[in-house]
Amino acid sequence: MTDLVNVSVEELTEYSLADLKSLEKKVAKAIATYDERKKKAALAELEAKAKEMGFSLSELTGAKGKPVKASGVAKYCNPDDPSQTWTGKGRRPAWFLDAIEAGKKAEEMEV
């Protein structure tokens, strides 16, 4: 994988507009899902450690057997603020409705 953190603006100018927009979408998705991915990794590590010690994580935390429902994965992001996302389920956010009203298509806002 290319080390994008150290890529200069001059190097980015070599990319086409389509490549830059694709990269922007990927970065927005990675940012939007960062906390969830870190939480899942931490939970897996804790469960493995508890199992190694002969327990389940729910036994150690006192949690009931009911699993916590995870929030959905973002399907759309606000073109003006990629940190605002929507799973495509439930009520449509104002930014999504505003973008549709302004002529954007839902496909253009997909993550």
Q: What is the pLDDT of residues 50-104, one digit of tens each?
A: 999 998 888 888 877 556 666 788 899 998 888 899 999 999 999 999 999 999 9
Q: How confident is the model at residue 111 (pLDDT cuts 50, 70, 90)?
A: confident
pLDDT of residue 94: 93
Q: What is the pLDDT of residue 68?
A: 60
Q: Is residue 3 part of a domain?
A: no
Q: Is 72 or 19 the better-scoring residue by pLDDT?
A: 19
* Per-residue buried b or exposed e for 46-74, using 16+ beta carbons within 10 Å of the residue's own CB: eeeebeeeeeeeeeeeeeeeeeeeeeeeb
Q: Is residue 38 part of a domain?
A: yes
* Terminal CA-CA length for the chain: 21
In a domain, 88, yes or no: yes
Domain that holds residue 18: 8-109
pLDDT band per the 50, 70, 90 thresholds, residue 17: very high
Q: How many structural domains are present in the chain?
A: 1
DSSP H helical ranges for the chain: 9-12, 17-52, 57-61, 94-101
- Going from the C-alpha of 64 to that of each of 46, 49, 51, 67, 97, the distances in angstroms are 17, 19, 17, 8, 39
Query: What's the pTM?
Result: 0.42
Residue 1 located in a structural domain: no
Q: Which amino acid is at 59?
A: E
